[in-house]
Chain A
Amino acid sequence: MSDCALVSNVSEHDASMEVGNEKSLFEPSVDMMVNDFDDERTLDEEEALAAGEQHDPKAELNSLQREGDMPLEELLALYGYDKTMEKPPVPEPVPEVVPEEIEKAESALQQLYNETASPEATRCLRSGSRPPSEEEDDYDYSPDEDDWKKTIMVGSDYQAAIPEGLCSYDDALPYENEDKLLWNPSFLDEKVTEDYMKKICSMNSPTGVDAVPKGKQLRDDEEALFLLQQCGHNVEEALRRRRISAQTPAHASLWSEEECRNFENGLKAHGKDFHLIRQHKVRTRSVGELVQFYYIWKKTERHDIFANKARLEKKKYTLHPGHTDYMDRFLEEQEASGAGVVRPVSPSPMMEFGPSPATQPDPLALGEKEVFSQLNAHTPPPRALSMEEPEPPTGS
């Protein structure tokens, strides 16, 4: 078996698996010469076997008969052939032949499954079962004995306790009061809701971020729909209340310049460990807010400038090795995810520094179509965020 394993191991490594090469693999290696080709022992064994067969010629016939009926795969297994070994000597299985019996069908299925097995080791779910190192010589590839295979465990430690029979919620729902219905479409006609949404859209003050055209799509406004429901689906009442509340700014928690800068410093110091960033740099925000901010931030010009600067600094660092460089990892990821693509303007509600149309008029005046055409023409569009901007008022 060990020689088989050796061969299959070699063929595993040889992704091309050319038939021509296969023959040369059967030449006895040094290992085979030493262990299995011990002439005297082999001779002894053969004599013993032959002696056994002479005692019962019928048994020999029977066993031959059995082997004749055996599916090829089992036969190979019986004679110590590895699964991967069966490929070269066996002619391609004819696909039209679908055996009637289930057992045979299964082995044919297994064969079909193995036949297309790709030599490429695929990625795992981060850790978990990793392939053994390539250097391991005694790695025996056999789908039935592989150590990566896990089994489904059986026992009270593993299965769920299935409730007996069926029941009904006699009492009120146990959690009824703890969820919150925010919208139910069945009270109003779709048309009415749509008209309401249109009116809400037109009511939004045309300054700052809200001035960016949103395209033809009629977008939903969670708050407005919730308000409509709170007003008992009375459209007029909801619009009236909306008008009153529209006076107060919706974006209550804009990030200040200081917070932004601290966040970036934190990212530089701790990588994407938002827990540490919060602990050491941005104490005014929760980890959740940091995470949310990060995803908006990473697609802005501010991020591009940050990343470029970090790249330059990184070059300096390479002259002084020994620093733990979180930026290294960060930048690699950025490059892998294809950052640096020319982007259209993206003012985000969280990063807008004071609604001052005077400082950033161009992007807001552009229609979506124009933005896209700019993108196609590879003209860098104006950015909503700029480092050169004057120190903004702290929104809080």
Chain B
Amino acid sequence: MTQQKVAYFYNADVGNFHYGPGHPMKPHRLSVTHSLVLNYGLHKKMQIYKPYRASAHDMCRFHSEDYIEFLQNVTPQNIQSYSKDLLHYNVGDDCPVFEGLFDFCSMYTGASLEGAMKLNNNACDIAINWSGGLHHAKKFEPSGFCYVNDIVIAILELLKYHPRVLYIDIDVHHGDGVQEAFYLTDRVMTVSFHKYGNYFFPGTGDMYEIGAESGRYYSVNVPLKEGIDDQSYVQVFKPVISNVMEFYRPTAIVLQCGADSLAGDRLGCFSLTTRGHGECVKFVKNLNVPTLVVGGGGYTLRNVARCWTYETSLLVDENISNELPYTEYLEFFAPDFQLHPEINSTNNANSKQYLEAISKHVYDNLKMCQHSPAVQMTHVPGDFFPEEYRIKDEPDPDVRISQEEADKMVEPKNEFYEDEKDNDKEPPPETKDP
């Protein structure tokens, strides 16, 4: 497997916002994460971008214009004059108006959007934006700490180049905003693993939510119960994603890595370790499909930083030590100062039988996609090549090439043209026979 090129999008200011007193969402976790990434020496392994900031126009690719205009204009100072809109847009407790709200949205959305563009351009194979992943935001209103749905906007960008985009969500909460946005289409499959039931936010994500109209069977939900541990999670994650890959064959993936599925999260109730959470990320990376990796929830600051730092190291194929490097935030990681702290496992309410049954349920639904005529299995855009056709670095002429590579260079017998004039990429039938 060739080394995947990784691009990392980070705006140094994105961590310096504050949702208000007592609010569990702390954007500063992004600064702490970045500091760890830097001090682990991971920075020099990636392309680093100070990303583009999304404009109101970009946001309106998904959101309603009225709503974005409201976000752009409302401030803590003028909030009184918007009292009607506040109610209309459900702004308040969960989604407060804070200083710099629109700037914050513009930074995290711009980073996801740019990640999608770089993937489309083959500038990288993996794009990372830990500030993104705000999967609850709806077309016309904020929800669950999310104002602008950067994921939906990034996927819309990917759809310009990719016939089928897969969205995977390992946040403890259901990825309702993304699922709803693409509920009627077969060009995006959304797969969400989440806690469901007993008044858990947002209240969607039942196993029977499978999409509608053309999108029927293209929304996949894996409802789970509290206390799920690494072993159980991976037991259901891997077969489900393998089946999804087999039946849906996406050409691009967006992976939402909400860290509130870790043990000890302030709002979550799962028992995953950073290693277990990372295992899912590694599994998706090894699928070798262009992937946009975004953050999401995560409300115990120190664990979020640990998790996303570790996952950055996995994505760049770098082993990092369990002992945390010195950073200005070192004391957040007291008393153990380790990357993978010990966790107190709680009771796992997911029986093995249940996990097997839910995997089978998903499999049975996925089988239905196979017969769906709407999936564009044959259409490949002009400048999207399969892996082996990609332009490789100029080989050293003095080094003997391997037999395998030499075989690939053999031209079909009916090949008369090179490059642009080459109309028949299909090899002639006789060469297919061994």
Contacts and interface: CB of A to CB of B under 8 A. Distances in A.
A116 B354 contact: yes
Chain B binding surface, main DSSP class: loop
A109 B358 contact: yes
B93 A126 contact: yes
Given A152-B179, A169-B121, A116 B349 contact: yes
Contact of B183 (A152, A190, A349): A152
B332 A154 contact: no
Contacts of B53: 178
Chain A binding surface, main DSSP class: loop
A95 B353 contact: yes
Interface string B69-83: 000000010000000
A184 B49 CA distance: 9
Given A112-B354, A152-B180, A179-B114, A344 B159 contact: no
Contacts of B121: 169, 173
Nearest to A214: B326
A309 interface: no
B349 A150 contact: no
Interface residue tally of chain B, by bracket?
A: 35 or more
Contacts of B152: 160
Interface stretch (A71-79, A127-135, A256-264, A357-365): A127-135
B357 interface: yes
Contacts of B138: 158
A130 B199 contact: yes
A220 B51 contact: no
A43 interface: no
Interface string A141-173: 001000011111110011110110011110001
B44 A225 contact: yes
Interface stretch (A24-32, A47-55, A235-243, A288-296): A288-296
Given A126-B93, A184-B47, A109 B357 contact: yes
A173 B350 CA distance: 47
Q: Of residues A130, A167, A219, A348, which shows the largest number of chain B Cβ atoms within 10 Å of its Cβ?
A: A219
B285 interface: no
A175 B52 contact: yes
Contacts of B38: 219-220, 222
A160 B181 contact: yes
Nearest to A275: B99
A167 B161 CA distance: 6
Q: Of residues B16, B40, B61, B76, which shows the largest number of chain A Cβ atoms within 10 Å of its Cβ?
A: B16
Interface of A: 95, 98, 102, 105-106, 108-109, 112-113, 115-118, 120-131, 143, 148-154, 157-160, 162-163, 166-169, 173, 175, 178-186, 190, 193-194, 197, 212-215, 217-220, 222, 225, 271-275, 278, 287-289, 291-292, 294-296, 299, 326, 329, 333, 341, 343-344, 346, 348-350, 368, 372, 375
Given A113-B354, A126-B94, A287-B99, 18 more contacts: A108-B357, A109-B354, A113-B223, A124-B200, A125-B267, A129-B201, A158-B181, A159-B184, A183-B43, A183-B47, A193-B44, A214-B39, A220-B41, A274-B99, A288-B16, A292-B15, A296-B328, A344-B330
